[in-house]
Structure 1
Amino acid sequence: MSSPMIPEQRQKELLRLLRTAGVLSIRDLTELMKVSHMTIRRDISNLEESGQVVAVQGGVRLAEHPGVEPPPERSSRAQLELPRKRAIAERAATLVEDGMVLFLDAGTTCESVVPFLAARRNITVVTNDYGTVAALFDYPEIETIHTGGVVDVESRSSSGPLAAATLASVNLDLCFLSTGTWDVPHGVTTPSTEKVVLKRAAMASASTSVLLADTTKFGTFERFNVVPLAKLDAVVTDSDLSETTGRALRDLGVDLHVAEL
């Protein structure tokens, strides 16, 4: 039986994998390297401090060489876990009915819902995400409202009190909430108080609130609480969710929708 790799060996192996793939999720790395999430995150932190990698939401990519313009953070995130995002988006779209007014939160998972709305009639999409607005340009039959608010260049979205005020003036049938971190003890969390204000305003305006989050983001939390999972009406995630976690969510009274990969 081989001995566990020391940190320097692990980090070299992590860099080798990234040179092949370009960008990898935390889950991919834990499975490929047979180590825990915490170990991978420590290695990423060390490599990021030395300027060799750049952490993106849910994963990591190689740092660019000097003189090469790095891709936008959102572009890097969009490459991560595409099958999961699409499967979750397609499953979430089945909850949308003709005539609904729905909110799509910022992020690539919620943006992925857009193509699956094409068959719906007389719907209105409210969003704080500029990428989602751009995607909706291809669907002129869908009425689109942007919330406005303070612009976050990195996520290409907006949030804060101005965006929340827009949401307070709209009656939403359905809120699709996104997150980069979620677990059972902490619920949905975020590193930004501006995003807390925006997400809570969307839920307050909605008859039904649904979290769209893949399993690579499960088991992590940020400094600010948005909402306990028990306060959500439903969660849409992928089929890599463990049976234990699935039971825990159902015990909270959450309607769990699992998208098969």
Structure 2
Amino acid sequence: MVTTVRQERQNKIIDYLRSEGFVKTLDLVEILNYSEATIKRDLVELEEKELIRRTRGGAMIIDKRKIDIPYLMKIDRFNDDKKKAMVTKIADRLLKDDMVIFIDSSSTALHLVDILTKYDGLQIITNGLITASLLSEYTTARVSIVGGSIVPKRYTINGSKALFDITTYYADIAFVSCRGYDFTIGATETMEGEAYIKQAFRKQSKEVALLITSDKINHRYMRQSLSNQDIDYIITDKKLSEDEINILIRNNIRFMSESEL
């Protein structure tokens, strides 16, 4: 996807702040070689997206663990995200021709598109606008997108209409991600709508596979989307401890990792 100059500049600001935590506006002017007025406009936009907090003379990052960068920023870095690509490569073992599949709007699940190109007769339902577009472009699947409200800047659909639409389908498996996974309470989200969508996918699916990269493990957020009892598979690039694996076994969750490739 083509990245605008402004997006590239704001990406660099976010990357710098994630590394340093705080930066002065004048330092960004020097680092990025743009005018002070341009940098200030960028900081205003990033604050409106709730990614940073402006301070006198500079800006600071909001809690690094809770930051959710805009979806297009994630797509800009799509090909460089080796962890997510590895997770979806592992998920390939659960796929076969002629399946009905739910896929959520997460950038992690978006990596499934490359995997799904080799299967025939698939029917795929998603709440992701970009996900639906890429599935339609690169796979032979019959793709359906749920109706509802588009979440600003997230390219995702949720709301009561989306939840109702999901009840009109039944899938063999749902592939979903999350903002955080805790071994005690399961998968969690910061946004209520995202949590409800994943609960609906769970209710209408025979099985659920949770796709999580190592940076999401042992973090919890406000909204529970899936309890451990709701999850059939956890697929991750992280090497789990014996105690963590035993927790999954007690909850009848199958752990799938890179070692199975």
TM-score interval, normalised by the smaller of the two chains: 0.7 to 0.9
Q: Which amino acid aligns with 1:249?
A: L
Contact 2:106 2:176 in 1 (8 A): no
Q: Distance in 1 between matches of 2:163 and 2:64?
A: 24
The Cα offsets for residues 43-88 of structure 1, whole Å up to 9 and x where unpaired, read as xx9x745353555986869xxxxxxxxxx71133343871110001
Q: Using the TM superposition, give the Cα deviation of residue 135 of structure 1 relative to its aligned residue in structure 2, in angstroms.
A: 1.3
Contact 1:196 1:224 in 2 (8 A): yes
The Cα offsets for residues 208-233 of structure 1, whole Å up to 9 and x where unpaired, read as 11111111011111112122123211
Aligned to 2:140, the other structure's residue is in SS state coil
How many residue pairs are counted as aligned between the two chains? 216
Q: Does the alignment pair 1:188 with 2:187? A: yes
Task: Go from structure 1 to structure 2 and tell me whether the alpha carbon gap of 1:59 and 1:118 turns closer, same or farther (over 3 Å shift).
Answer: same
Aligned to 2:164, the other structure's residue is in SS state helix
Task: Go from structure 1 to structure 2 and tell me whether the alpha carbon gap of 1:56 and 1:121 turns closer, same or farther (over 3 Å shift).
Answer: farther
Q: Distance in 2 between matches of 1:134 and 1:251?
A: 39
The Cα offsets for residues 81-108 of structure 1, whole Å up to 9 and x where unpaired, read as 7111000111112211111010111111
In structure 2, the partner of 1:112 is 111
Aligned to 1:94, the other structure's residue is in SS state helix
Aligned to 2:234, the other structure's residue is in SS state strand
Q: Distance in 1 between matches of 2:168 and 2:74?
A: 31
- Output the TM-score relative to the length of structure 2: 0.72
Segments of structure 1 that go 5 or more residues without pairing to the other structure are: 1-10, 23-44, 62-71
Contact 2:117 2:139 in 1 (8 A): no
In structure 2, the partner of 1:74 is 71
In structure 2, the partner of 1:66 is none
Task: Go from structure 1 to structure 2 and tell me whether the alpha carbon gap of 1:98 and 1:56 turns closer, same or farther (over 3 Å shift).
Answer: farther
Q: Which moved more, 1:102-111 or 1:154-163?
A: 154-163
In structure 2, the partner of 1:228 is 227
Contact 1:215 1:241 in 2 (8 A): no
Task: Go from structure 1 to structure 2 and tell me whether the alpha carbon gap of 1:248 and 1:12 turns closer, same or farther (over 3 Å shift).
Answer: closer
Q: Using the TM superposition, give the Cα deviation of residue 131 of structure 1 relative to its aligned residue in structure 2, in angstroms.
A: 1.4
Q: Using the TM superposition, give the Cα deviation of residue 185 of structure 1 relative to its aligned residue in structure 2, in angstroms.
A: 1.7
Q: Distance in 1 between matches of 2:108 and 2:65?
A: 12
Q: Distance in 1 between matches of 2:188 and 2:243?
A: 21
Task: Go from structure 1 to structure 2 and tell me whether the alpha carbon gap of 1:145 and 1:229 turns closer, same or farther (over 3 Å shift).
Answer: same
Aligned to 1:148, the other structure's residue is in SS state coil
Q: Distance in 1 between matches of 2:86 and 2:239?
A: 12
Q: Which amino acid aligns with 1:168?
A: T
Contact 1:183 1:219 in 2 (8 A): yes
Contact 1:161 1:198 in 2 (8 A): no
Q: Which moved more, 1:189-198 or 1:47-56?
A: 47-56
Q: Distance in 2 between matches of 1:12 and 1:91?
A: 29
Task: Go from structure 1 to structure 2 and tell me whether the alpha carbon gap of 1:184 and 1:12 turns closer, same or farther (over 3 Å shift).
Answer: closer
In structure 1, the partner of 2:20 is 14
Q: Distance in 2 between matches of 1:97 and 1:141?
A: 13
Q: Distance in 2 between matches of 1:53 and 1:96?
A: 43
In structure 1, the partner of 2:59 is 52
In structure 1, the partner of 2:42 is none
Contact 1:179 1:188 in 2 (8 A): yes
Contact 2:180 2:217 in 1 (8 A): yes
Q: Using the TM superposition, give the Cα deviation of residue 247 of structure 1 relative to its aligned residue in structure 2, in angstroms.
A: 3.0
RMSD after superposition:
3.2
The Cα offsets for residues 92-144 of structure 1, whole Å up to 9 and x where unpaired, read as 12211111010111111101001111111100111000111121132251110
Contact 1:107 1:155 in 2 (8 A): no
Segments of structure 2 that go 5 or more residues without pairing to the other structure are: 1-16, 23-27, 33-49
